[in-house]
């Protein structure tokens, strides 16, 4: 059987294939009122289409653990029961198609309070219903971005608790995988990197101090997440700043510790913590970072980044570079990518009865 369509088991959960959907923000939730941050008809259609297309695991967009943790006012959240109920409709449908539902728990940190990308993505002022972003240090992300308020130790404890509470709500909503977002220059990733973390207390300075917040969040989530269900962590393997930021060596060192703290898989991306850096993009350009983590730590990994062809994805798995592939933009272009790949590679995949005539 094609490696791409072999089941994959983490703890007691088996995912039917290795074609997984990466988290991609839709910026389509209501921003205010009783349904703020709740999934709506757009989100249902978006995720349902990829499930009927055969995707084995779907990770939601970055889902904020608090209102101020949103990237934009139109982000999804999971800080209240209304949001839980809205997610249940989606997780039930995904389960009916054999797709595993995963949620990415996130806090945007200093990159919070921005407009939707198609409206320019600029920071929102108070007169535009924006709010004060938080960060490990009072360093703005870029020119024109506000200086974030430095997170106090008391706020660190509060946010850690928000991640744990969000995980419990995610479980209630029907999710079977929780992923902690530590990538792309959002709050946890900001703490990891010396580029954005200039603190002088126990959460800054040395490598051990900069990873402290991340490990505390992992421990808090793992304490409430069932032992039989897997926990993922998304990492930016490099800031692409050489020694001035977080590096691939740091990622390998950190991955070994994440494994000790109960993380079951590392979702390996790159970048996002510094603007206008030069990134050598190309097909599979982030795969070597995932492969190195897997080879040097034994922690399972998922590879992401310009993976678009079935043969390309199959080769990544055959070479032992990753345990699964995460597709982003390609699944936006083609919700049935997994079904088409199965036809090309001779893999077995769930096809809804209503679509059997298309085989």
Q: Which residues are part of the catalytic machinery? A: 186
Cα gap 350→342, rounded to integer Å: 10
**Token pair recorded at residue 94:** 């995904």
Distance of alpha carbon 78 from its chain centroid, rounded?
14
Cα gap 23→20, rounded to integer Å: 10
Cα gap 133→124, rounded to integer Å: 10
Q: Give the position of tokens 């709740």.
A: 38
3-state SS of 74-110 is: CCCECCCHHHHHHHHHHHHHHHHCCCEEEEEEECCHH
Cβ within 8 Å of residue 59, ≥6 positions away: 20, 21, 22, 23, 102, 103, 104, 177, 179, 232, 267, 326
| Bridge pairing between strands 324-327 and 149-150 | unpaired
* Strand locations in the chain (E): 8-10, 13-15, 19-21, 57-64, 100-106, 134-135, 149-150, 177-182, 231-236, 265-269, 301-304, 324-327
DSSP string over 210-263: HTHHHHHHHHHHHHHS-TTS-EEEEEES--SSGGGS--HHHHHHHHHHHHHTT-
Helix-then-strand count for the chain, H and E: 11, 12
- Closest by CA position to 22, among listed 241, 252, 302, 261: 302
Cα gap 162→105, rounded to integer Å: 10
- Closest by CA position to 225, among listed 266, 165, 265: 165
Cα gap 294→89, rounded to integer Å: 35
Cα gap 190→276, rounded to integer Å: 17
């Amino acid at each position: 059987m094609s490696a791409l369509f072999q089941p994959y088991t983490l703890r007691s959960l088996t995912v039917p294939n290795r074609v997984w959907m990466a988290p991609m923000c839709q910026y389509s939730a209501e921003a205010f009122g009783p349904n703020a941050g709740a999934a709506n008809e757009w989100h249902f259609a978006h995720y349902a289409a990829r499930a009927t297309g055969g995707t084995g695991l779907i990770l939601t967009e970055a889902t904020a653990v608090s209102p101020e943790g949103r990237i934009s006012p139109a982000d999804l959240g999971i800080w209240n029961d209304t949001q839980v109920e809205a997610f249940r409709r989606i997780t039930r449908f995904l389960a009916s198609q054999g797709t595993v539902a995963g949620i990415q728990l996130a806090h945007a940190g200093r990159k919070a309070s921005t407009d939707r990308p198609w409206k320019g993505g600029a920071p929102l002022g108070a007169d535009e219903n924006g709010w004060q972003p938080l960060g490990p240090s009072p360093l703005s992300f870029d020119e024109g971005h506000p200086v974030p308020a430095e997170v106090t130790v008391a706020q660190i404890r509060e946010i850690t608790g928000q991640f744990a509470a969000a995980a419990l709500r995610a479980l209630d909503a029907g999710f079977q995988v929780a992923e902690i977002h530590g990538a792309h220059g959002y709050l946890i990733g900001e703490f990891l990197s010396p580029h954005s973390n200039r603190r002088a207390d126990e959460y800054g300075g040395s490598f051990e101090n900069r990873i402290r917040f991340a490990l505390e969040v992992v421990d808090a989530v793992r304490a409430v997440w069932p032992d039989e269900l897997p926990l993922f962590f998304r990492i930016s393997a490099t800031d692409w700043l050489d020694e001035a930021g977080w590096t691939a060596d740091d990622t390998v060192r950190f991955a070994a510790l994440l494994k000790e703290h109960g993380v079951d898989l590392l979702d390996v991306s790159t970048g996002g913590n510094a603007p206008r850096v030069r990134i050598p993009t190309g097909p599979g350009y982030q795969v070597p970072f995932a492969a190195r983590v897997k080879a040097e730590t034994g922690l399972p990994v998922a590879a992401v980044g310009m993976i678009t062809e079935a043969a390309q994805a199959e080769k990544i798995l055959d070479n032992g570079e990753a345990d699964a592939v995460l597709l982003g933009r390609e699944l936006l272009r083609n919700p049935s990518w997994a079904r088409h790949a199965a036809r090309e590679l001779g893999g077995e995949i769930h096809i809804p009865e209503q679509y059997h005539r298309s085989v």
